[in-house]
Structure 1
Amino acid sequence: MSRFLFVVPPLVGHINPTVGVAAELTARGHLVAWACPDPELVLRLAGSGAGAVFACAGAPPGERPAELRGPEALKFLWEWYLLPLAEAMAPGVRTAVEAFRPDVVVADQQAFAGALVAERLGLPWATSATTSAEFTDPLSGLPKIGRWLDERLAGLRAAVGDPAGAADPRFSPHLVLAFSTPELAGDSRAGVRWVGPSITARPTASDFPWEWLDARGDAPGDTGRATVLVTLGTANTDVGGRFLDVCRSALRERADRVQAVIVDPGGTLQPAQDEDKGDTDDKDVLVVPSVPQLALLERGVGAVVCHAGHNSVCEALWHGTPLVVAPIRDDQPVVAGQVAQAGAGVRVRFGRAGARQVGAAIDAVLDDPGYRVAADRIRKAFRAAGGAPAAADRLDELAREFR
C-alpha cells in the first residue's frame, strides 16, 4: 500500500481528470488525499470516497481584463494567477505533506506548489498534465517573456522549493502523465507518458429534458436531426455572451436538420424572438445552465462547438465527435491548433466570427466525413492509451521505485 497526495488548483478541468486516477488507486488498496484551495469543489467532483482533503490558500482575487490576447494574456495569466497561486498554496501543501506523509506527490502542471514542496522535502513527484499545451513550448517565440518567466520561477523555487533544485516544476523528472495522446497533441518531449483522457462517470442532473431531443439523427439509419452541443466551459461566463448568441443564430438557421443544446451558466442569452410566430418559444435551440455532458455525448452528438478547453475537446473526441473550436485564452489556442492540425475540427475566431462563419464551420464538420474519420481515429487512440488505470499503473510503479 502506498500513499498519494494530489495537489490541484481550484479548477474543474484540472481536477476532473485526476478523479478517476484517484479512484483507481483507492480501488487497488492505496490511500489518497488532496490539497486544494477549494476542498468543497474536490468533494463535489470526487465524491464521498475522495479521502482526506486539505485546504490551502488560493491566489488573491483579481480581475483579468477580458480583452487581453496573445503574449500579454499569457504573461498576465502567470503574473495574475499561476505564480501567486503557487506562493499561496505552498504552506498548506507542506502541512498536507507533513500530516498525510505521502510516498508520492501528484502535482497538477499548474499547481507548482506541489512540485516545489515535494522537491524541498525530498519526495518523488509526478506531473499531472491535464492539458498538452505546455508540451508545444508556447513561449518558444517569445524570448523576453521566457526569460521573465525563468526569473520568476527561480524566485519561487528559492521561496518554497529547494534552492539547489533544477527541475522545471511543470515537468517532473520522475514522471509526467499526459491525459492525451500524440494523435491529438502531435510530437512532444521525451519521457512523457501518454495515458489518454481519464473519463469517469459523473453525477447526472435528473432535470435535463431528454424528451426535448429528437430521435437520434447523427448515425446511419437514425431518424431526426443531428444534435449540436455548444459549451464554453465553466470559466468563461464573463466573455461568452456574444459568441453564444452568434451560435444560436447560426443553429436556428439550420433547424431543418440540426437541433442545438447551448450551455449558458451565466444566463447571458435573452429569449430568442421568433419573428415568424411572434413568440419567444424556441423549439430548435435548448438553452440550459448546465448539461450532463458525458451522458449527452454518449447518447450521440453530431458536433461540439466549444472554446477548445482541453477537457471539452478530449471528452468530445473520446466519443469520436468532431468539433468547431473558438479559443478564448490561456492554453485554448494551442489546443484548438491541435484539433485543426489533426483534422478533427474547424477553428473559428471567438471574438470576430459571425453567424455565417460559425454556421459554415458547423456545416463542414457535419457534412464532410473526413472530420468524423479523424475524430474517430483519435477516439481509438484515446481508448487504447488506458486512461485512469494506465495512470494508476505508472504512479504505482513510481511509488515502488522509491519505496
Structure 2
Amino acid sequence: MSRFLLVVPPLTGHVNPASGIAKELTARGHEVAWTGTETILQPLLGPDAQIFGTGTRAFRALGGHGLASLRSLWEGFVVPYARFTMKPLDAAVREFRPDALLVDQHTPAGALVAHRHGLPWATLAPGAMELGRPYRALPQVEAWTAGLLQGLWQRAGLPAAEFTDPRFSPHLVLATTGRALLGDLPTSPQYALVGPVLTERSADPVFPWERLDPGRRTVLVTMGTMSDAVGADFLDRTVRALAGYGEGIQAVIAAPRGVLPAALADTVVVVERAPILELLSKGALDAVLCHGGMNTVGESLAHGVPLLMAPIRNDQPFVAQRVAESGAGLRVPFARVSPQVIAERLRQVLDEPSHRTAAKLVGRELMSGGGAVTAADRLEALVTASPTPS
C-alpha cells in the first residue's frame, strides 16, 4: 500500500472534496496524512485524521470583483500562505515520507516541496478558476500571475531552468467538474474530470430539522464560506425577496445571524453552516440560491436541484454562466440585483420544470466522472507509474 500526503488550504470548500478522496484511499488500505492549518483541518476531518500542522496566522480577507478579486486572492492569500507553509511542508514530507502528494491549486508550496524531493504529485482543482487558462485573452494578467509563481519557485531555492507551473501537475490534474460546466475551455491530456466528490459527512446535531415543513417548498441560501464580509447586503435583499412568497416557501439561510435583519419570518431558518449534502440527500431542497461556487453547484446538480446564482468573484461568474447556458438554473448580478428580480428569478427556477429537468441531466453527466473512486484510481496509477526517488 502507498502513502499519500494531502496539501490543502484552510478553506472548507477545498477540504471537503479532498476529504472524499482521502476516505476512498483509506478504504483501499492506503495511509493518508494531511498538512495545513491544524485548527481548521481537525474539526473538519475529525479527531482520527493524521495532520502535520503548518501553524496559524491571519490572512487578508478577500474582496472586490473581477480582476480586483484575483489580485486580492493571490496577494492576500495564495502567495503569503505559500511562503508561510513552505518550511513546515518540507518537514512534513521528510517525516511522513509519502509516495505521492495531492496538492490543492491554492497551495502551490506543496508542488514546490514535491519537486524538491523528486516526488510525484497530483493537482486538485476544486474550482474552474485556473482550468483552461481563463485569462489567456489578457496576457498581462497571465504574466503577472506567472511572475508571482516564479518568485515562489525562486524562494524555494529550486533551479530556474526546471520551473514548472505549480498549479498544474505534469502528471495528473484532478478537477471536480465535468465538460458540462467547462464548455469549450481546452484541457490537457493529464486532466481527469472526476466531477463532484460526494462523501458522507458527519450529521449536524444542532440543525433544526423540526422547523422544516414538508408541505412547503424549501430553498437553501448560501453564499459560501468566504463571502461573509461582502454578502450582508445581498442577503438583506434576499430576505426581502422571500418575504413576498408568503407561507408557500421556506428558506434555510446559511450565514452569521448578525448579518441578517433582526426580524425574520417564521418560514426563514438561519444557521451558521448548513448541512447541504444531508439536505440534498434527504430530498429536502427544491432550489439552491448561491454564489456559483463549484462545490455547491456540483453537489446541487448531482442531486438534480436547480440553482439561482449570484456570482461574486474568481471562477463563480464562469460557473454560473455555464449553468445558466445549460438550463439548469438562472444567474443574477450579485452587486445590484433588486429584491423584486431575486423573487422573480427564484420563482422561475422553482416553477418552470425545464430547470429541474436540465439540472438532472447535467448532474448525471457530472457524476459520470466517477468522483472519489476515479480520483483514487488515478492516484494509485500515479504511484505505480512513478519511479521511487533515490
Instruction: Give the shorter-chain TM-score range.
Output: over 0.9
Moved more, 344-353 or 330-339: 330-339
Matches within 5 A, 1:296-375: 296-300=279-283, 301-375=285-359
TM-score, normalization: structure 2?
0.93
Deviation string, structure 1 residues 166-189 (Cα, Å, up to 9, x no partner): 321111110000111112222331
Q: 1:193 to 1:313 in 2, by over 3 A?
A: same
Q: How does 1:109-120 map to 2 (within 5 A)?
A: 109-120=105-116
Give the CA deviation at 1:23: 1.2
Q: Per the alignment, do residues 4 and 81 of structure 1 end up closer, same or farther by CA in structure 2, a change over 3 Å counting? A: same
Tell me which residue corresponds to 1:268: 259
For 2:124 and 2:144, the matched residues in 1 are separated by: 24
Deviations 1:132-163 (A, max 9, x none): 22114232232222212222211211221443
Mapped pair 1:291 → 2:274? yes
Structure 1 residues without counterparts, runs of 5 or longer: 216-223, 273-279
* 2:246 equivalent among 247, 251, 255: 255
Quote the RMSD (CA, aligned, Å).
1.7
Distance 2:342 2:107 in 1: 35
Q: Contact 1:116/1:162 (CA < 8 Å) preserved in 2? A: no
Structure 2: gaps of 5 or more residues: none
Change (3 A) 1:311 1:63: closer
**Residues 58 and 143 of structure 1, relative CA distance in 2, 3 Å threshold:** farther
2:43 counterpart residue number = 44
State which drifts further: 310-319 or 205-214: 205-214
Partners of 2:361 and 2:48 lie apart in 1 by 34
From 47, 51, 54, the counterpart of 1:53:
51
Matches within 5 A, 1:23-172: 23-36=23-36, 38-50=37-49, 52-57=50-55, 61-64=59-62, 66=63, 68-160=64-156, 161-172=158-169
> For residue 277 of structure 1, what is the aligned residue in structure 2?
none
* 1:220 aligned partner: none
Say whether the 8 Å CA contact 2:7–2:104 is kept in structure 1. Answer: yes
- State the 1:267 CA deviation: 2.3
Residues 333-342 or 87-96, more deviating: 333-342
1:213 maps to which residue?
212
Which residue among 170, 179, 185 is the counterpart of 1:182? 179
CA distance in 2, matches of 1:270, 1:397: 52
Give the structure 2 partner of residue 197 of structure 1.
196
Give the secondary-structure state (helix, strand or coil) at the position aligned to 1:167.
coil
In structure 2, give the amino acid aligned to 1:382. L
Q: Is 2:349 the counterpart of 1:387?
A: no
**Aligned AA (2:30):** H
Cα distance in structure 2, aligned partners of 1:306 and 1:100: 39
Change (3 A) 1:175 1:156: same
1:362 Cα deviation (Å)? 0.4
Rounded to whole Å, the distance in 2 between the matches of 1:104 and 1:162 is 21
Greater mean deviation of Cα atoms: 349-358 or 254-263: 254-263
Residue 57 of structure 1: how far off its partner (Å): 4.4
Give yes or no for contact 1:60–1:84 (8 Å, CA) kept in 2: no
Paired residues, what number?
A: 383
Give yes or no for contact 1:180–1:195 (8 Å, CA) kept in 2: yes
Q: Is the 8 A contact 1:264 1:288 kept in 2?
A: yes
Go from structure 1 to structure 2 and tell me whether the alpha carbon gap of 1:383 and 1:146 turns closer, same or farther (over 3 Å shift): closer
Q: Secondary structure at the match of 1:214?
A: coil
Q: 1:350-385 deviations in whole A, cap 9, x for unaligned?
A: 111111111111011112222111110122123222
Matched-pair contact (CA < 8 Å) for 2:35–2:54: yes
> In structure 1, the residue corresponding to 2:160 is in which secondary structure?
coil
Q: Aligned partners of 2:206, 2:196: CA distance in 1, in Å?
A: 27
Please tell me whether residue 243 in structure 1 is matched to residue 234 in structure 2: yes
| CA displacement at 1:60 relative to structure 2 | 5.3
Partner deviation per Cα, 1:246-282 (whole Å, 9 max, x = no partner): 111111211243111111225211232xxxxxxx6x2
1:114 match: secondary structure: helix
Instruction: Give the partner amino acid of 1:166.
Output: F
- CA shift in 2, pair 1:231/1:396, >3 Å: same
SS at match of 1:193: strand
